[in-house]
Amino acid sequence: MPSIPQWISGNHASGAWARPKDAPPAKAPKSRPPQSLRDKLPFHGILPRYSGPYSVGYIEIEVPAASPRPFSHITRHGRHILQLETVLMSLYYPSALGSGVGKDPGGHKHWSRQVWLRHPRSEMSKGYAAFAQLPEWLTVVWFFMTTWFTKLPAFRNAKLANHWPPEQNARQGGWKVKNETGEPPEGRSQQPVFPLIMFSHGMGGSRTAYSSVCGEFASYGFVVCAVEHRDGSGARTFINHPPEGFEGSRKERERTGGVDHWDTELTHGWDVVDFIFPKHNPHDTRPSNEQGIDKGLRSAQIDMRIAELEEAYNVVKAIVEGNGTAIAEQNLRNADGIGASSRGTDGVDWNCWTGKVNLDQVTMIGHSFGAAATVEVLRNSDRFQWFGQGIIYDLWGLSLKLPESDPGHRINVPLLGINSEAFMYWDDNFRAAVGVCEEAKQQGSLVWLLTVRGTVHTSQSDFCILYPKTASLILKQTINARRAIDINISASLEFLAQVMPRPTAPFHRCLESEKLLESPCIERLPTEHKPAERWTAVRLKLPHETRDRFIPSVRHKLKKYGGVVGEEKEIWMHMAPSAEELKSRYLGKVSPTNQTASDEIDDVEKISQISAAEHRTSKGFVAATTPVWPVAKGE
């Protein structure tokens, strides 16, 4: 039978992604690439396999919140609309050798994978219809024809990895590297301790909507806790309740947390939370909105989001401290819960999680409204002492709460901001993003702010990967959707390599640095693809569409051979540390963890990075200063 062409299947031409042969019985079984018939058919809805040296596992958890309560006085039809009752999260993590082979951890014949469009899929489709203000039948048909059967390339309930990775990622060495181990760093234990990332989704998002980003981080050796927010900013989410008499039941939540429920909700064991439109200004997220942001609603939503992140962190902490079995017993996403998998947490080896996640220098990441929540988390360092650095993807800056007068309520940890080109042209919002970065700089933190060229707001989610034609033809994205994710991950890993102590994290050894953070700063914001005001932040303008699509692809090919430099790079750098700031960092004068230069990075890399910063300054680029942008709209 002839093989399916590469342009249909997405398989590597060299066969690097092909199914490896079974290992001898005396050795650990080899991992298998997650694959099914759906992954090979020429339809929409194929998610790329992760490029890091680890296979990826996936666990879903929903447990009663430790501190249930309503947020703000806002009510609809006599009921508070912002209520914390349970916390729902997905864990993406590096999985052990042998993932995908034989029976799954629960003893089932076939390994399970999470569907991208969560269960119940028809109800989730209708939730997206309400969010997008489209007919329900249309969205159900649309999802059925595209991503109804799409699954994440991660193994449900797989065992947490206990090995150090090799020094190559899957792009360099093929799938076989996921079956190889590396030697532990000198002076380190045989089993690594994985760093933790907390992830907050944007408007209309969910715990699976950013699976490409979360899974990529996990494949490089991070445990990623992706929280699904119940603050009315997602398209639709379900809250499960246990039977009466148990913690988390409606009566128990009303008694201990002061929450309330509609009578119609009492007919079944779950509640539904749909996207909440501001009552008097339903389109306050649009740049053209003249009435301004609904600060009351958005501030309350941010308060609820950071409470959910705090609850989720405590769940992960309980698991790492050896209480995973107790968490599993509380899990409401087992077979009986709405939206749950029939596998639940069957077969999860909770013992292998004990002491294997670093809970002290956690990375906080968010996209859009999730980036606004990230900013607020980082400002509350007294409450969230465990966060060591933050990454903000396409910050929705106009939703930010005003910083308090207390000087201590400021970002004082390293910060990386990555914009899409479409959001960069939203002048007021970009100013807000720059203001956040300046805030962190004034506290002595290392700060980078950059824009990925040819991208739109959804380029940092799964949307553009699953619907590339829509992103290209309607939103006018010019960059390859998978390449956009690659750039975001590469820049993020380069940032984390600079600000996290080494060699305690496995990703340091397999990082394929593109030196994105060494790019020179530009002096003025470009306007070549700035759209008309009605399309601000939504799409790009392509005056010469054929040329504008052709040039980026050629640029990417030339980049491999070093033929693209300066302004032709795939990013625009707006802010970056000066040589003096990097020197201070490496000498331990600014580092929040007070690491010495020898602990942070080796001498060769240190000299290279500081030299790059000096080069930025000597060449006259705006290094580590506020960039210049057009003052008047349309200028």
Structural domains of the chain, ranges and CATH numbers in brackets: 56-73+86-94+160-618 (3.40.50.1820)
- 271 CB contacts (<8 Å, ≥6 apart)? 85, 238, 239, 241, 261, 265
Nearest to 529 by CA among 423, 386, 396, 402: 423
Is the pLDDT at 288 greater than 60? The verdict is yes
User: For residues 629 and 435, what is the distance between their CA atoms, to the nearest angstrom?
Assistant: 13
Question: How many helices (H) and strands (E) are present in the chain, helices listed first?
Answer: 19, 14
Is the pLDDT at 6 greater than 70? The verdict is no
pLDDT at 551: 65
User: For residues 401 and 396, what is the distance between their CA atoms, to the nearest angstrom?
Assistant: 11
Query: Structure tokens of 303?
Result: 């308060």
Question: Cα-flanking dihedrals φ and ψ of residue 496, to 5°?
Answer: -65, -30
Most confident of 133-137, 469-473, 631-635: 133-137
pLDDT at 351: 96
- 455 CB contacts (<8 Å, ≥6 apart)? 420, 421, 422, 477, 479, 484
Degrees to nearest 5, angle at CA 213 with 401 and 455: 75
User: In this structure, how many other beta carbons lie within 10 angstroms of the beta carbon of residue 546?
Assistant: 8
Global pTM value: 0.87
Average predicted confidence (pLDDT) for the chain: 84
Averaged pLDDT for residues 27-42:
61
User: For residues 478 and 465, what is the distance between their CA atoms, to the nearest angstrom?
Assistant: 13
Alpha-carbon distances of 248 from 112, 267, 580, rounded to whole Å: 28, 16, 53
- The secondary structure element, H or E, covering residue 170 is helix 170-173
| More confident site: 43 or 232 | 232
- For residue range 541-562, list pLDDT tens digits in order: 988 777 666 666 666 666 555 4
Degrees to nearest 5, angle at CA 37 with 32 and 43: 125
Averaged pLDDT for residues 408-434:
94
State which amino acid sits at residue 588.
G
Q: Are 526 and 572 in contact (CB under 8 A)?
A: yes
Is the pLDDT at 86 greater than 90? The verdict is yes
Nearest to 462 by CA among 288, 250, 204: 204
Rounded to an integer, what is the distance from CA 277 to the centroid of its chain?
24
pLDDT at 369: 97
Q: Are 508 and 496 in contact (CB under 8 A)?
A: no
What percentage of the chain exceeds 90 in pLDDT?
62
- For residue range 581-607, list pLDDT tens digits in order: 887 776 654 444 444 333 444 444 554
User: In this structure, how many other beta carbons lie within 10 angstroms of the beta carbon of residue 255?
Assistant: 11
pLDDT at 501: 74
- 538 CB contacts (<8 Å, ≥6 apart)? 422, 456, 457, 475, 531
- The secondary structure element, H or E, covering residue 313 is helix 295-318
User: For residues 590 and 581, what is the distance between their CA atoms, to the nearest angstrom?
Assistant: 8
- 402 CB contacts (<8 Å, ≥6 apart)? none
User: In this structure, how many other beta carbons lie within 10 angstroms of the beta carbon of residue 116?
Assistant: 21
User: For residues 24 and 577, what is the distance between their CA atoms, to the nearest angstrom?
Assistant: 51
Averaged pLDDT for residues 248-274:
92
pLDDT at 342: 84
- The secondary structure element, H or E, covering residue 240 is strand 236-240
- For residue range 147-175, list pLDDT tens digits in order: 999 999 999 999 999 999 998 888 888 88
User: For residues 13 and 613, what is the distance between their CA atoms, to the nearest angstrom?
Assistant: 39
Split at pLDDT 50, 70, 90, the class of 220 is very high
pLDDT at 586: 63
Averaged pLDDT for residues 74-98:
95
User: In this structure, how many other beta carbons lie within 10 angstroms of the beta carbon of residue 405?
Assistant: 6
Handedness of CA 471, 209, 514, 422 (dihedral sign): positive
Is the pLDDT at 302 greater than 90? The verdict is yes
User: For residues 44 and 35, what is the distance between their CA atoms, to the nearest angstrom?
Assistant: 15
pLDDT at 429: 94
Q: Are 240 and 270 in contact (CB under 8 A)?
A: yes
Cis, bond preceding 94 (omega within 30 deg of 0)? no
Is the pLDDT at 393 greater than 60? The verdict is yes
Query: Structure tokens of 580?
Result: 């003096």
Lowest mean pLDDT among 133-142, 292-301, 577-586, 603-612: 603-612
- The secondary structure element, H or E, covering residue 435 is helix 427-442
Q: Are 387 and 351 in contact (CB under 8 A)?
A: no
Q: Which residue has the tokens 């508070």?
A: 80
CA neighbours within 13 Å on the CB side: how many for 558? Answer: 13
- The secondary structure element, H or E, covering residue 448 is strand 447-452
Split at pLDDT 50, 70, 90, the class of 40 is low
Averaged pLDDT for residues 211-237:
97
Strand-pairing partners, residue 447, are 415
- 599-602 own/partner pairs: CB under 8 Å, 24+ apart: 599/501, 599/502, 600/498, 600/501, 600/502, 601/497, 601/498, 601/502
Nearest to 206 by CA among 155, 273, 258, 254: 273
User: For residues 230 and 304, what is the distance between their CA atoms, to the nearest angstrom?
Assistant: 8
pLDDT at 412: 93
What percentage of the chain exceeds 70 in pLDDT?
81
Averaged pLDDT for residues 112-119:
93
- 16-23 own/partner pairs: CB under 8 Å, 24+ apart: 16/170, 16/173, 16/174, 16/175, 16/176, 17/49, 17/174, 17/175, 18/175, 20/175, 20/176, 20/179, 22/101, 23/179
- Residue by residue, DSSP assigns 545-613 as HHHHHHHHHHHHHHHTTT---GGGSSEEEEE---HHHHHHHHTTSS-TT---HHHH--HHHHHHHHHHH
pLDDT at 293: 86
